Structure 1
């Protein structure tokens, strides 16, 4: 949006009211100015947003509650004009992004698997998601699906500094399942692998536990080839799909150290257990909402 204009005359006096017809399109009950080549700002909507709008004989301005000037303009005849969004945005860190409607905010909240609104705004600000409309997203009530799906016990505080210094140096693995309801393809288990350094996650869907050793073997080969790095340590719990003689010989051949956890103590493998929790929460919330 470039130059916009404020009118100090009565808008209704210069605008038509009724049905606006353009070709095959008809818009009913609108104010319009035929041939107007500028964008208009609504003073009423600025005031509803707790912003101050003031007009003087030669200039006008819009301020926030802290007294910062967001927009300024000069008077030309009976119009206040030359308000440039691009110039103001370049010289000020203030965000001039319009606020999304409540319906649009909750629509994208659901589309992004019930992602919190702070993260959605970060994705928009940094342009990290294609086709995500550039609005300011906010919530006006608590999502019932999130309230039910994300409730959990308080967890231990995470480490402030990572013990590892490169990708694939240490991998956390865990097998989750069997699920009460199988997927469309009849799979009831998920194998979750988390890189301790980058927290990047890989998820594999399995029919049975017996598929776990072959999936891990293929994963290690592909990961080392794709990332040009070596797997040094693997951390998992004591279960037959992870701990057996064949697996031990294979890992020793590759120079990979196995790190087993204490039985019935999932807290020791908190990195992948928390990721399991996140994945299950996302699926549960989508099912609850549907």
Structure 2
């Protein structure tokens, strides 16, 4: 505070500030301290709530607007700005949340101690390390749930190629920090599902994938006397270009895209 003393905040909540013009604004995350003699509004907090400001260089006042409407004007007084139009003050606010409640403390210490279990918190309270507060059994920590969730195993049947070139798997790797002698930083692979035989092509850019696929297609179809039926890839942009998709349709090749974050 102004006298260099500290004052504890006992409550935090939302306060409806009513002005003399009967305009009411919501002030979020208001701190209440019974020892405060004056009520202070943070202009930065108002700015984060979408309020705009206009400065009068002649008298030094600040006008506060919301959606183009003047809400109030603050005038300089003893080094601070006073909102002289206020009717109520922060000391009369309602709808506060008691920051000392047991539920709040339980969540606070659960987070501070690395999301430990309620059993371990109870043991720390028993040992006198933590103060006593209520531990509700129905409290659910969303962060703990997200951190411990696992993906269901893939138990379904897999579609496999019954012959050569029935299914071709492809993917692009890179960019790599070190380049080859001719400056390539990527490579693209084409693997036959039936034989597991693979081709690797060095490329300088991901956009070169389309030309390398045409080169691969011409070679294997000519050598094996068979046609590629399906191209299985991830959802990389190099496989989703209009030029690439139109070429696959023209050749009668089905483009099969794997779901995101799936092996």
Asked if TM exceeds 0.5, the reply is: no
TM interval, shorter chain, is 0.3 to 0.5
With CA pairs under 8 Å and 6+ residues apart, which has the higher RCO, 1 or 2? 1
Structure of larger gyration radius: 2
TM-score normalised to the size of structure 1? Answer: 0.36
